[in-house]
């Protein structure tokens, strides 16, 4: 089985690192870096990028896709999912599961602007956590920092403090990472939360959902090929900083003419 893994850039690697140690078969990671950050794009733009990536995954022989991007999961999938032929796993189902398992009463969620604006996340979480409150916070400065491989230091700390402040004022007891770039900020986040709220990363829950949907891939030793839509060297450098390991050479697959910025 060949599984496509989709994100705007290095964020989806937080899901990929869970997948690769639990699945067999072949993974094709595609970071649409020509269009990062997705959080600043319109649902129409995001739908075009996703449709194009599906065509790419199909052309590479994928028979399923993990949408390792909350923004696409929230702003695109509810509109077009019924049109997609490939079986998909998305982030929202995983987030719901991970949040329910954490048994929190006041859940803070940090996510991109497009995810927050979609309203989809808040509704999904409120439905699956009856009796709990959900507080959404857009955190637009974080994706560019992670894309640059900057995951610690004063700029990261200042940005996180700004986004966590309104959530801490609501006395949250859990913080859900509603963007796949954010798990790479675990260290400064843990420090700032100082035990007052548990950190919830849906990556493992998403991987388990994939294994439930496609039990034939249960195993280990998956191989991966990496693709981006611009600047493979930048992706390789950032991936090395955030994963603390070297990726195999990353391939370039440019976006269609009309989608070049
Ligand atoms: N990592 C993606 C997400 O989970 C996209 C972030 C972005 O490009 O703004 O939302």
- 10-residue stretch averages of pLDDT, the chain, 261 residues long: 97 97 96 98 97 97 98 97 96 97 97 98 95 97 98 98 98 98 98 98 98 95 97 98 96 83 52
- Give me the pLDDT at residue 19, please: 97
ω before 184 within 30° of 0 (cis)?
no
> Ligand 1 center to residue 197 CA distance, Å?
23
Q: Does ligand 1 lie within 6 Å of residue 70's CB atom?
A: yes
Helices marked H in the chain: 13-20, 43-59, 70-75, 77-80, 91-102, 113-118, 120-128, 142-147, 154-169, 186-193, 203-213, 232-243
CA dihedral 234, 237, 241, 242 (to 10 degrees): 50
Catalytic residues: 69, 179
The whole-number pLDDT of residue 132 equals 96
Quote the number of domains for the chain.
2
> Distance, CA 7 to ligand 1 centroid (Å)?
7
In a shared domain, residues 130 and 81: no
Q: Is the pTM of this model over 0.85?
A: yes
Q: 7: Cβ below 6 Å to ligand 1? A: yes
Secondary element (H or E) of residue 3: strand 2-7
113 and 240 housed in the same domain: no
171 in the same domain as 250: no
Residues 133 and 156 in one domain: yes
Q: What does the pLDDT read at residue 258?
A: 66
User: What range defines the domain where residue 172 resides?
Assistant: 92-202
Are 108 and 197 within 8 A, CB to CB? yes
Structure confidence at residue 260 (pLDDT)? 60
Q: Which pLDDT score is estimated for 44?
A: 97
Crossing angle of the two packed helices 91-102 and 120-128, in degrees rounded to 10: 40
Pocket test for ligand 1, best of 5, 16, 66, 71 (most atoms within 8 A of CB): 71
What per-residue confidence (pLDDT) applies to 256?
Answer: 86
Q: How far apart are CA 74 and CA 202, in angstroms?
A: 14
Strand-pair category, 174-177 with 133-138: unpaired
19 and 74, same domain (yes or no): yes
CB 205 within 8 A of CB 101: yes
Q: CATH number of the domain that 30 lies in? A: 3.40.50.1860
From the CA of 125, how far away is ligand 1's center (Å)?
18
């Amino acid at each position: 089985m060949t599984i496509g893994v989709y994100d705007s850039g290095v964020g989806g690697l937080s899901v990929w690192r869970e997948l690769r140690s639990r699945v067999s078969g072949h993974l094709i990671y595609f970071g649409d870096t020509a269009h990062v950050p997705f959080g600043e794009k319109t649902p129409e733009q995001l739908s075009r990028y996703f449709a194009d990536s599906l065509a790419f995954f199909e052309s590479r022989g994928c028979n399923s896709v993990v949408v390792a991007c909350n923004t696409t999961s929230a702003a695109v999938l509810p509109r077009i999912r019924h049109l997609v032929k490939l079986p998909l796993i998305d982030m929202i189902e995983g987030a719901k599961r991970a949040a329910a398992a954490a048994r929190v009463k006041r859940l803070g969620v940090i996510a991109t602007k497009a995810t927050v604006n979609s309203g989809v996340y808040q509704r999904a979480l409120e439905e699956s956590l009856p009796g709990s409150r959900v507080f959404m916070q857009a955190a637009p400065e974080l994706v560019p920092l992670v894309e640059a491989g900057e995951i610690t230091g004063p700029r990261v700390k200042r940005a996180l403090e700004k986004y966590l402040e309104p959530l801490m004022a609501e006395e949250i007891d859990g913080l859900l990472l509603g963007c796949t770039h954010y798990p790479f900020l675990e260290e400064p986040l843990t420090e700032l939360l100082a035990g007052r709220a548990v950190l919830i990363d849906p990556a493992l829950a998403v991987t388990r959902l994939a294994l439930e949907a496609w039990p034939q891939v249960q195993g280990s030793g998956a191989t991966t090929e990496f693709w981006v839509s611009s600047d493979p060297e930048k992706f390789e450098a950032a991936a090395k900083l955030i994963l603390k390991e070297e990726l195999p050479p990353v391939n370039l697959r440019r976006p269609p003419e009309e989608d070049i910025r």
